[in-house]
Structure 1
Amino acid sequence: MAIKDLEALVASISHALNAARIPCVLWGHCLLQVHGVPTIVGSIDFVIPDDLLQAGARVLTDVALAQDTLLTPCPNPTDCSKTAPNRPTPPPSFHNHLEGSDASVGLYLQRDTLWFLPPLNSMRDRLLSPATQQLPPPFILASDQTTLPPWRPGRASGFFKPGQSPVVVPKAHVLLEAFMRIYARDVGTVIGSFALTMIAYMELYVDEDGFLDVDQLPDHLKELYCERRNDKKPVRQWTQELKETLGQNP
């Protein structure tokens, strides 16, 4: 995505949502980049509370972004690549397009992404003022240089530069848990295949580089993840056990 300062743009969107009292957590391509996973950034995405989609959509319609970047409504919502049924990644619940770019800004609901965490609304004040209040345990700031990786050859951008509006991101083990749960929920679909690939990427680019604290995973998921990492079971058997563990079987 040809944007001069992606971090400033992400921070300006986060600031606009927070100013409207909408707690938001970075998601998608940009989040992978923060954790060091190399990926092409085709969208800037955030997770917001389930009941604030309309409010979030209004923000993305009226927001003034960094670098005088403009957002425009999707010209063809029923036939847009950002929401196509066969797209390889989960579609957002709402999106607008960055003017003059193929990229978009999207909103995802917590019930579709981080449903296993406490409701974002229950942590609202701490998420809206992360610079002055301690963040809830699942989250850190995108500028946290003590936890997130720096840029390295063969890896993505890593932590954000300091001095911008704060952007909240899930910790690495939370992101891994999300992918494991999405895979169990959507196995056999393109979204399930995407989630399984992301589990492998988390192992390759985050865990192997020492930026994933596996001990922070719930015990039942920690054991399953270690089995997958060490290739102890066929994928089919591992998938069945993951689904059973998470109660995803009929």
Structure 2
Amino acid sequence: MPTLSQPFVASLARALNTAQVPCVLWGHCLLGLHGVPSIVGSIDFVISDDCLKAGAEALAQCKGLVPCPDPQSCPATSNERHSQPPVFHAHLDDGLEVTAGLYFQSDTLWFLPRLDDSILFPASSADLPPYFALASDQFRPGRGAGVFKSATDAVVALRSHALLEAYMRLYARDQGKRVGSFGMAMIAYIQLYVDADGFLDADLLPEPFRKFYRELQEGKKPIRQWMLELKAALGVEEEDPESDS
């Protein structure tokens, strides 16, 4: 689909940055950047919680996007999803099955410093914190979209070790809920398609994530025990699995 091209994704990031909304690539496009196979169903960005109004207004003005025709019944915001729904989304005007969405940082990357103006239009990855890189740098062509071919528009993305930490935190937080299995599936994908191909430096993971990822690789510990110990290490309380049914 032409509008899912890298220039189109970059145009959305440019619109957000121009509106002074720092953003980080998320979801299917981010997986594709890391070479993880994914059926692209959305173009997503993480933004600071207090930038939602400006971010939504910026996307609403983007050529190629149209408002959601029925937010109440839209699959993008359905409770049946196996991943978190966006806090705002619009649809591509050439097919309502594909969306562009915004996610709160407090729901996704809460463990990182607040996204601020320092990541607006960086000239290179060297200008970014060590857990970010430009989508045109530090990545590889591979399964999925691969590296962005142009650095003209600065699209900020998570490096692989930061993405793995995010999914480990999301799994620990959401285990026992409907969306909980999503985090573990993403951890497995990174292990299979990124780490196995030599594109993950697990030594960059902070503790206790480095230790727990090593244990997961070794496969000597039952997953439930591993999960409970991870939650305990992060101070996440075990929840009733019926609570989100």
| TM-score, with structure 1 as normaliser | 0.91
Q: Find the counterpart in structure 2 of residue 224 from structure 1.
A: 212
Uncovered stretches (5+) of structure 1, i.e. residues with no partner: 65-69
Report the AA paired with residue 70 of structure 2: N
The residue that corresponds to 2:109 in the other structure is 114
Contact 1:43–1:104 under 8 Å retained in 2: yes
Local SS of the residue matching 2:139: coil
Q: How does 1:168-187 map to 2 (within 5 A)?
A: 168-187=156-175
What amino acid is the match of 2:123? A
> What do the CA deviations read for 1:164-219 (whole angstroms, capped 9, x no partner)?
31100011010000000000000022311011000000000001111111011112
Q: Quote the Cα distance in structure 1 between the aligned partners of 2:227 and 2:214.
A: 13
Q: CA deviation at 1:39?
A: 0.4
**Secondary structure, aligned partner of 1:77:** coil
Structure 1 residue 162: Cα displacement: 2.0
Equivalent positions of 1:197-216 (< 5 A) are: 197-216=185-204
Q: Which sections of structure 2, spanning at least 5 residues, go unmatched?
A: 239-245
Quote the Cα distance in structure 2 between the aligned partners of 1:44 and 1:110: 16
Q: Is 1:12–2:11 an aligned residue pair?
A: yes
Alpha carbons 1:36, 1:156 under 8 Å: kept: yes
> Which of 115, 120, 129 does residue 128 from structure 1 map onto?
120
- Structure 1 equivalent of residue 41 of structure 2: 42
Aligned 8 A contact 1:8 1:164 in 2: no
Structure 1 position 141 matched with structure 2 position 129: no
Partner of 1:3: 2
Distance 2:237 2:4 in 1: 44
**Other-structure match for 2:67:** 73
Task: Tell me, yes or no, if structure 1 residue 240 matches structure 2 residue 231.
Answer: no
Does residue 88 (structure 1) correspond to residue 79 (structure 2)? The answer is no
Equivalent in the alignment of 2:141: 150
Distance 1:203 1:127 in 2: 28
State the 1:3 CA deviation: 2.4
Give the structure 2 partner of residue 67 of structure 1: none
SS at match of 1:242: helix
C-alpha deviations, 1:32-70, integer Å up to 9, x for none? 000010001100000001101011010111123xxxxx2
Task: State the 1:4 CA deviation.
Answer: 5.5
Aligned length: 236
Q: Which runs of 4+ in 1 moved over 4 A?
A: none
Question: CA distance change for structure 1 residues 55 and 185 in 2, over 3 Å: closer, same or farther?
Answer: same
SS at match of 2:232: helix
Question: Comparing 128-137 with 76-85, which one deviates more in the overlay?
Answer: 128-137
**Structure 1: distance between partners of 2:41 and 2:83:** 11
Q: Secondary structure at the match of 2:25?
A: strand
Query: Contact conserved, 1:36 with 1:157, CA < 8 A, in 2?
Result: yes
**Cα RMSD for the two superposed structures:** 1.3
